[in-house]
A = this chain, B = another copy of it.
Amino acid sequence: MAKELKNLTKRSENYSQWYNELVVKADLAEQADVRGCMVIKPYGYAIWEKIQHILDGKFKETGVQNVYFPMLIPKSFLSKEAEHVEGFAKECAVVTHYRLKANETGDGVVVDPAAKLEEELIIRPTSETTIWNTYRKWIHSWRDLPVLCNQWCNVMRWEMRTRLFLRTSEFLWQEGHTAHATREEAEARAKQMLKVYADFVEQYMAIPLIQGVKSATERFAGALDTYTIEAMMQDGKALQSGTSHFLGQNFGKAFNVQFVDKDNKLDYAWATSWGVSTRLMGALIMTHSDDNGLVLPPHLAPIQVVMIPIYKNGEELAQLDERFNALADRLRARGISVKYDNADNKRPGFKFADYELKGVPVRLAMGARDMAAGTIELMRRDTLEKEVVPFDGIEERIAGLLEEIQQNIFKKAKDFLESHIYPCDNYDDFKARVKDGGFFLCPWDGTAETEAQIKADTQATVRCIPFGYDQSNPGVDMVSGKPAKYRVIVARSY
- Residues of A whose CB lies within 8 Å of any CB of B are 30, 32-34, 37-42, 45-46, 48-49, 65-79, 85, 89-102, 107-109, 111, 120-123, 130, 133-134, 137, 143, 149, 153-154, 156, 158, 170, 172, 345
Contact = CB atoms under 8 A, between A and B. Distances in A.
A302 to B, nearest CB: 10
B89 A109 contact: yes
Nearest to A171: B68
B143 A72 contact: no
- For A73, A98, A121, the residue with the greatest tally of chain B CB atoms inside 10 Å of its CB is A98
Contacts of A172: 68
- For A39, A92, A149, the residue with the greatest tally of chain B CB atoms inside 10 Å of its CB is A39
State the majority secondary structure of interface residues on A: mixed
Contact of A100 (B32, B45, B94): B94
Given A40-B68, A42-B149, A91-B99, A73 B34 contact: yes
B95 A90 contact: no
Contacts of A96: 94-97, 111
20 contacts: A32-B69, A33-B70, A33-B134, A37-B72, A38-B70, A39-B70, A39-B134, A45-B66, A46-B65, A48-B68, A71-B170, A78-B100, A90-B101, A92-B98, A93-B97, A94-B95, A94-B99, A99-B158, A100-B122, A123-B123
A67 B90 contact: no
A57 to B, nearest CB: 12
Given A38-B70, A39-B68, A42-B67, 10 more contacts: A32-B70, A34-B72, A39-B67, A40-B68, A46-B66, A79-B107, A92-B100, A93-B97, A94-B98, A153-B154
